[in-house]
Amino acid sequence: MRLQDARRNGRAFFRLPRGLGLVGLILLVLALAGCSVRQVPGPSTVRNPQPSALQNPERNPQTERRSPTSSPGEKGDGSPLSPGAGRVVAARVTKIVDGDTIHVKVEGREEKVRLIGVNTPELANPERGQREEPYGREAKAYTEKELSGRQVYLEFDVQLRDKYGRLLAYVWLERPQKGTAEEAWANLFNARLLLNGYAQVMTVPPNVKYVDLFLTWQREAQKNRRGLWGP
């Protein structure tokens, strides 16, 4: 074969078909390249294995329901069982347990109340192996005489209940107006127990509002040998 013929044949091998042009050449190259390149999935095809809070309504903070943490009587909503130093509510005495413990009816519910700041002599309690202490009966009789069936006013201090679930209160015979020493001396039953020698001071923080007055009145009963301080 002559060189001229070979050159002519070579030109014929790479000659494009008529009408294909430059655009056709580009499309042909892209088609050939697509046969050898693998398709890699883009970010939109990757799935998140952990659903978000919006995808899972049970874990969405905006739709999740929380159980209330406050219990009845601890909401501070103005009910008679709400705590708060100085809060006063009316109640009716229904039963006397001993000199410093009573039952009252307050707005339709029955409550056991332990008087704050005082401790009267104990009565006999065989179930607890507790013997009767001197002047225990006299203290209960005095409380029965003064409080049975009577309307009283319960004043709460910082702590609302003791570990036994009893309400802790100062028991007023008349609704307190100013809470002065003179008013407490006249109408606060806790004070009367001390002044007449039926109780001793028993201070349990944080309920200490009248502790200084109570100590003064206990010394007065001791000085005058009243009640359990007598001979």
Burial status of residue 199 (CB atoms within 10 A of its CB: 0-12, 13-18, 19 or more): buried
pLDDT over 60 at 164, yes or no? yes
Instruction: Report, as an integer, the average pLDDT of 150-170.
Output: 96
Better pLDDT: 153 or 26 = 153
Is 70 exceeded by the pLDDT of residue 38? no
Whether the per-residue pLDDT at 98 is higher than 70: the answer is yes
User: Each residue of 12-22: pLDDT tens digit?
Assistant: 444 545 555 55
pLDDT of amino acid 131: 84
Residue with tokens 């978000």: 52
Mean pLDDT of the 55-70 span: 32
Residue 173 pLDDT greater than 70, yes or no: yes
Angstrom distance (rounded) from CA 92 to CA 83:
19
pTM of the model: 0.65
pLDDT over 90 at 71, yes or no:
no
- Report the pLDDT averaged over residues 152-172: 96
- The ranges assigned to domains in the chain are 88-226
Tell me the pLDDT tens digit for each residue of 121-150.
998 777 777 788 889 999 999 999 999 999
Quote the mean pLDDT of the chain: 76
User: What 3-state DSSP class applies to 118?
Assistant: strand
Predicted confidence at residue 24, as pLDDT, reads: 56
What share of residues in the chain are helix, strand, coil (percent, to 5)? Answer: 35, 20, 50
Q: What is the CATH number of domain 88-226?
A: 2.40.50.90
Per the structure block, which two tokens stand in for 179?
Answer: 């809470």
Please, are residues 95 and 103 in contact by the beta-carbon 8 Å criterion?
A: yes
Q: What is the pLDDT of residue 75?
A: 35
Kindly indicate the confidence band of residue 26, based on its pLDDT and cuts at 50, 70 and 90. Answer: low
Segment 181-210, tens digit of pLDDT: 999 999 999 999 999 999 999 999 999 999
Question: Mind telling me the catalytic residues?
Answer: 114, 122, 166
Tell me what pLDDT residue 31 has.
Answer: 57
The arithmetic mean of pLDDT across residues 102-122, rounded, is 96
The predicted model gives 199-223 an average pLDDT of 97
Residue 42, pLDDT score: 42
- CA 209-181-215 angle, 5° bins: 60
Query: Which amino acid type is present at position 127?
Result: E
